[in-house]
């Protein structure tokens, strides 16, 4: 059996095509990004080797660290919201009447492109005739805030649509994971007299734990390099108060024509992702994986 499962030719056949593609399409750009980061380059003319100057400047760059702080905050929020997603998925996966329909409806927003979502939320947050402020004013709140223009509110105002945008993605994954638990398992537990809470806690939760671990990594990495809605809705403003690492990178590389520095930001972002992933993997590592294997 081990012989079959350690057949080098088969492994190569299964893994190599994808690996080579990734190396060519993703790793060459990664390596080149690292290389551009060591140069002074506007992306157009000749490159000038400056060694670690860009990185040295980056370490002292307040604007970068503030954007990194915003990205990390987003990562923390995404991680916390995974709990809500999991609960919703558990409710949807329970044998409720109409759960099937609810599931479909709940996932609809994830089909929308960022362009549409951004427009929707711009309408919600509009300072004078937006849904939010119209509602607040009708509730008697005088002079409600201009959500996207207040430096201390804007970041949180942006987190809500971002977390909402990704809700479908994670609920879908959790839902599939929960549905992957054979129902015979659940029934057997029920016969043994387990309550539905016990079933959820003792059987379902450990089984989806592997999936949860993976989604933590996905949520953190995804948040750290998040770009879309922030770019469309505030462009990192006002005064950089909603700038995140990826938008900072974009502004430097494509707007300020400082492609060398932008690349250094991009490469640094990668390193931060790596460290974060390593920490998560360490923190969530378990000796054994699944009970019934």
Partner 1 sequence: MKALLQFSQQHKHISQKGVVNVFKKSKSMTMALILCLAVVTAACGNNNSGSSTNSGNTASNGASSESGSDKKVTINFMHLWPEGVSAGQNKIVNQIITDYQNEHPNVTIKQEVLDNEQYKNKLKVLSASNQLPDVGVTWAAGFLKPYVDGNLFTPVDDLLSGELNGKFVAGTTEAYAIEGKTYALPLEFNIAPIYYNKEIFKKYNLEVPTTYEQFKQVVKTLSDNGVAPIALGNKDRWTGSLWYMYLADRIAGQETVANAIKGTAKFTDPGLQQAASEVQSLVDANAFVKGFNGLSNEEAKSEFTNGNAAMYLMGTWDLPNFTTNEDIPQSFRDSVGFFKFPTVEGGKGNADSWVGGPGVGLFVAENSKVKEEAKAFVQYFVTKWGEQSVTGAGVIPATKIDTSTLQLPQLYIDLFNELNKASSITLFADVQLPANAAETHLNMIQSLFGKAVNPEKFASEQDAAIVKGN
Partner 2 sequence: MSSTTMKLGGEAKSGSRIGMKVGYAALYLVLVAVAIFQVYPLIWLLFFSLKNNQEVFNLSPFALPSPPHWENYSKVWNAGNIDTYFLNSVWITVAATAVTIVFGSLVTFAITRMKWKLSSLVLGLFMVAMMIPVHSTLIPLFSMFNKVHLIDNPLSLILSYVAFNMPITIMILLGFYIALPKEVEEAAVIDGASIHRVFFSIVFPMTSSVLATTGIINMIYNWNEFIFVNTFISSDKFKTLTVGVQNFIGQYTTDWGAIGATLMISILPILLTFLFLSDRIVEGIAAGSVKG
Contact of residue 14 among partner 2, partner 1, none (CB under 5-8 Å per partner type): partner 2
Burial of 97 (0-12, 13-18, 19+ CB in 10 A): exposed
Task: Annotate 178-219 with DSSP letters as a single string.
Answer: HHTS-HHHHHHHHHTT--HHHIIIIIIHHHHHHHHHHHHHHH
From the list 87, 254, 256, 279, which residue makes contact with partner 2 (rule: CB under 8 A)?
254
Cβ neighbours of residue 230 closer than 8 Å, sequence gap 6 or more:
158, 162, 236, 242, 243, 244, 247
Does 148 sit near partner 2 (CB under 8 A)?
Answer: no
Other Cβ atoms closer than 10 A to 1: 5
Going residue by residue from 111 to 150, which x/- string records binding to partner 1, judged by CB under 8 A? Answer: -----------x--xxxx-----------------xxxxx
Least Å from the CB of residue 270 to partner 1: 20
Contact of residue 275 among partner 1, partner 2, none (CB under 5-8 Å per partner type): none
Least Å from the CB of residue 158 to partner 2: 17
User: DSSP code of 239?
Assistant: T
Contact of residue 69 among partner 2, partner 1, none (CB under 5-8 Å per partner type): none
Does 192 sit near partner 1 (CB under 8 A)?
Answer: yes
Contact of residue 172 among partner 1, partner 2, none (CB under 5-8 Å per partner type): partner 2
Contact of residue 234 among partner 2, partner 1, none (CB under 5-8 Å per partner type): partner 1
The answer to whether residues 102 and 93 touch, using CB atoms and an 8 Å cutoff, is no
Burial of 247 (0-12, 13-18, 19+ CB in 10 A): buried
Instruction: Write down how long the chain is.
Output: 293
Does 234 sit near partner 1 (CB under 8 A)?
Answer: yes
Site residues, partner 1 (CB under 8 A): 42-46, 122, 125-128, 146-151, 154, 182, 184-185, 188-189, 191-192, 234-235, 237-240, 251, 254-259, 291-292
């Amino acid at each position: 059996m081990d012989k079959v499962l350690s057949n080098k030719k088969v492994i190569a056949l299964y893994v190599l095509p994808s690996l080579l593609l990734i190396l060519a399409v993703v790793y060459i750009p990664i390596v080149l990004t690292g290389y551009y980061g060591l140069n002074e380059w506007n992306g157009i003319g000749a490159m000038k080797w400056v060694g670690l100057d860009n990185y040295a400047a980056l370490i002292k760059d307040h604007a970068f660290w503030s954007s990194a702080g915003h990205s990390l905050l987003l990562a923390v929020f995404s991680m916390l919201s995974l709990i809500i997603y999991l609960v919703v998925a558990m409710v949807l996966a329970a044998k409720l009447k109409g759960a099937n329909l609810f599931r479909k409806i709940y996932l609809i927003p994830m089909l929308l492109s960022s362009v549409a979502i951004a427009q929707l939320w711009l309408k919600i947050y509009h300072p004078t005739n937006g849904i939010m402020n119209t509602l607040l004013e009708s509730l008697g709140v005088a002079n409600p805030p201009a959500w996207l223009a207040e430096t201390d509110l804007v970041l949180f105002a942006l987190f809500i649509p971002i977390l909402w945008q990704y809700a479908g993605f994670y609920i879908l994954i959790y839902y599939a994971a929960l549905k992957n638990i054979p129902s015979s398992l659940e029934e057997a537990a029920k016969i043994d007299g387990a309550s539905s809470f016990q079933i959820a806690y003792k059987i379902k939760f450990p089984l989806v734990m592997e999936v949860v671990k993976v989604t933590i990594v996905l949520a953190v990495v995804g948040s750290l390099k998040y770009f879309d809605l922030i770019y469309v809705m505030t462009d990192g403003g006002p005064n950089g108060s909603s700038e995140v690492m990826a938008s900072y990178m974009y502004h430097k590389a494509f707007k300020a024509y400082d492609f060398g520095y932008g690349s250094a930001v991009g490469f640094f972002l990668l390193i931060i992702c790596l460290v974060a992933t390593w920490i998560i993997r360490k923190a969530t590592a378990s000796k054994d994986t699944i009970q019934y294997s």
